[in-house]
Structure 1
Amino acid sequence: MKKHKVKEVRNLTSSTFVVRLERNGMVFQTGQFVLVGTKGAVERREYSIYSGENDDFLEVLVREVEGGKVSAKLKKLKAEDTLDVDGPFGFFKFDPETFQNQKFLFIATGTGISPFHGFVKTYPELNYQLIHGVRFAEEAYDHADFDEKRIVLCTSGDKQGGFKGRLTAFIQEQEIDNETNCFLCGNSEMIYEVFDILTAKGVSTSNIYSEVYF
């Protein structure tokens, strides 16, 4: 475990924010996660790495959870504060050169967009489509960092997204090349539903990769 100084905390919504830390020599593969806690605290939480492999800083995307022992403390951080960071960990690693077919579909709910932000920051020329499901359009976390032609925002709570309704309803309507490499990240209910939709459309289970957030 290493100590990392906070460079800044950037608020995206009233409850969601990005913590930028000194990289402090950490080597990681995009898609991995770190364990983060305030200095000396017992409680730590897993956060996917939000920054790219080549960035000179380390970022995590955090949603404040009501009654959360870690997220509430992270929201109060200021520049020069110190966090305990352990890792990286995880098998949701991403290296496009290892895939024969170079077509990628990223499917995320809420802060599940975090690893895909890292994917695209690391590999900006990637042939991808990102489908992001949220309740409200204000939760389109840093969508400006993605190619606007490659991202669809699905909103279930307002009508400001590109698709009005749940992410699963949008995917049901799409034709998907069964050779596409599909990555799912978000809540378990979404992952189970999307897995069934994709396999029913002919996508092989070996082409589906998932990371469950909760």
Structure 2
Amino acid sequence: MTIQMKPEVEINTNYYKVLEIRNLTENTFVVTLPKSRFKFIAGQHISLSIEGDYQSREYSIYSAEEGQNLEILVKEVEGGYFSPKLKHLKKGDMVEVHGPFGKFGLDTKKQVTHKHVFIASGTGIAPFHSMVKSYPNLDYRLIHGVRHMEEAYEKNHYGEDRYFLCTSRDKDGDFNGRVTDYIKQAEFDKNTAFYLCGNSDMIFDAMEILKDKGFDRDSVNVEVYF
């Protein structure tokens, strides 16, 4: 596992009014905030809290480095404390943003010379959405593992033939099964840089599969969600 060193980005605390809550599915949504002077590197995350609330949560940034707004992708946790509160925010409500944090991002030394394969489960797609939007000329392939087809969050945002969907609970994706099942049978060029983001079980299993395929730790960058 490698962690790429990136240029230093100043960590700020900013207070923003919510611009929009954009629902993608019944329980997944995008929180849109004005970007102001907030600077970050695609792949980084923020810590978000709601005005008047004592708790905060970390979310990968969903929007482009030079995008007009700052966005995060959130899945409401059933019975959870924080995500339901986020979902019910209204335009004009205040939130507090700390960050950016983290060194997960594109391997800049391989940005032009290599193919980039993004492997995500669920909302782990968020940092890859940011990378793709930030670097439109990137040679990438995005492999996304979800349960149902409806969780192919804004798949039209990705280049034609670059987004590949694995669905474990229905047969409406490009592959029926877990994303790790697909990786086992897939073939990858030797000059490939891999990026994994999502739940820890998927990441550790995928790392072992890639190791068996001959890719060492220097070829794999990870961001573990839980």
TM tier, shorter chain? Answer: over 0.9
Residue aligned with 2:106, SS: coil
1:100, distance to aligned residue in structure 2 (A):
6.2
- Spell out the pairing of 1:15-164 with structure 2 (5 A cutoff): 15-94=27-106, 96=108, 99=111, 101-164=113-176
For structure 2, list consecutive stretches of 5 or more residues without a partner in the other structure: 1-12
State the identity %: 50
Letter in 2 for 1:10: R
Structure 1 runs (4+) deviating above 6 angstroms are: none
Where relative contact order (Cα < 8 A, 6+ residues apart) is larger, the structure is: 2
Letter in 2 for 1:156: S
Q: 1:116-137: per-residue Cα shift (whole Å, max 9, x none)?
A: 0000000111101110000000
Q: 1:73-115: per-residue Cα shift (whole Å, max 9, x none)?
A: 1000111111011000011033645546321000000000000
- Alignment pair present for 1:205 and 2:222: no
Q: Which residue of 2 aligns with 1:167?
A: 179
Q: Which residue of 1 aligns with 2:21?
A: 9
1:56, distance to aligned residue in structure 2 (A):
1.6
- C-alpha distance in 2 between matches for 1:148 and 1:41: 42
1:40, distance to aligned residue in structure 2 (A):
2.9
For structure 1, list consecutive stretches of 5 or more residues without a partner in the other structure: none
TM-score by length of 1: 0.96
Q: Which residue of 1 aligns with 2:207?
A: 195
Instruction: Kindly indicate whether the alpha-carbon contact (under 8 Å) linking 1:177 and 1:203 is maintained by their aligned counterparts in 2.
Output: no
1:70, distance to aligned residue in structure 2 (A):
1.4
Residue aligned with 2:208, SS: helix
- C-alpha distance in 1 between matches for 2:203 and 2:148: 20
Letter in 1 for 2:53: A
- C-alpha distance in 2 between matches for 1:188 and 1:101: 29
Number of corresponding residues: 214
Q: 1:160-207: per-residue Cα shift (whole Å, max 9, x none)?
A: 001011111111111112321000000000001100010110112101
- C-alpha distance in 2 between matches for 1:175 and 1:95: 21
